[in-house]
């Protein structure tokens, strides 16, 4: 099975229309303050579908908190027999981050990836790099070792597990902490030909 890659075109956000099937649990809150459990069925950066015991009404605002994704805000556009579909209201920057998260989640599902060292690890030629945090702050890091699917970083920064960061130009997610730093898993499995250039810090 092929890994999923949600690409963006220069003139059209194609990721808006690429839906990923995911089964994740969460909670939905509706305009009337009713709250209930829900299950995500599929999602794109522009919309999501849920199974829910309470479906709300078309046009109603809804906020969903989904495991491994976080807060989604939008409007119900369709009510089904056992749930509803909603738009996702987000800035272009937040849509990009959501697309990165969905790519990572979809690839873990398709490739049956786990948070382990499933590829051979090595020390890169240049170990200095920069990690960008969700608020845009850039912090210097030292790459202890890396593989095609992740890296161990020496850093004083301790973003919570699950935080989406960037190492050089590569999106990643924090998967664990250790005494001297953190371990991250890349949003997509890289190739030997490009990985070292991708994580280098010369993107300023």
| Separation of alpha carbons 63 and 69, rounded Å | 13
Specify the pLDDT at position 112.
46
Going by pLDDT thresholds of 50, 70 and 90, the confidence category of residue 98 is confident
Assign 3-state DSSP to the chain and report helix, strand, coil percentages, each to 5: 15, 40, 45
φ/ψ of 123, rounded to 5, equals -90, 130
User: Residue 123 has which token pair?
Assistant: 């020390």
What contacts 18, CB < 8 A, 6 or more positions away?
6, 44
- The mean-pLDDT minimum among 110-119, 138-147, 173-182 falls in 110-119
Domain ranges of the chain: 14-110, 128-199
Mean pLDDT lowest among 43-57, 116-130, 147-161: 116-130
CATH of 14-110, one of 1.10.3720.10, 2.40.10.220, 2.60.40.420, 3.90.650.10: 2.40.10.220
Instruction: Name the β-bridge partners of 111.
Output: none
- Number of neighbouring beta carbons within 10 Å of residue 201: 16
Mean per-residue pLDDT for 178-185? 86
**DSSP letters for 180-192:** TEEEEEESS---T
* Dihedral, CA of residue 43, residue 49, residue 53 and residue 57, to nearest 10: 130
Inter-residue contact 60 to 79 (CB < 8 Å): no
Q: How far apart are CA 188 and CA 107, in angstroms?
A: 7
pLDDT digits (tens, 9 = 90+) for 124-133: 777 888 999 9
pTM beyond 0.75: no
């Amino acid at each position: 099975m092929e890994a999923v890659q949600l690409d963006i075109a220069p003139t059209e956000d194609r990721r808006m229309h690429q839906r990923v099937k995911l089964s994740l649990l969460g909670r939905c809150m509706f305009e009337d303050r009713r709250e209930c459990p829900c299950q995500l069925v599929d999602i794109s950066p522009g919309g999501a579908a849920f199974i829910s015991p309470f479906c709300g009404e078309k046009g109603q605002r809804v906020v969903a908190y989904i495991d491994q994704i976080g807060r989604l805000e939008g409007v119900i556009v369709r009510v089904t027999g056992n749930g509803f579909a909603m738009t996702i209201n987000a800035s272009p920057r937040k849509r990009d981050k959501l697309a990165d998260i969905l790519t990572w989640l979809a690839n873990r599902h398709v490739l049956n990836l786990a948070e382990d060292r499933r590829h051979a690890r090595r020390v890169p030629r240049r170990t200095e790099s920069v990690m960008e945090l969700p608020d845009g702050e850039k912090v210097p890091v030292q790459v202890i070792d890396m593989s095609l699917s992740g890296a161990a970083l020496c850093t004083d920064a301790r973003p919570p597990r699950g935080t989406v960061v960037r190492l050089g130009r590569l999106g990643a997610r924090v998967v664990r902490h250790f005494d001297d730093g953190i371990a991250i898993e890349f949003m997509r499995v890289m190739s030997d030909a490009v990985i070292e250039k991708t994580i280098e810090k010369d993107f300023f």
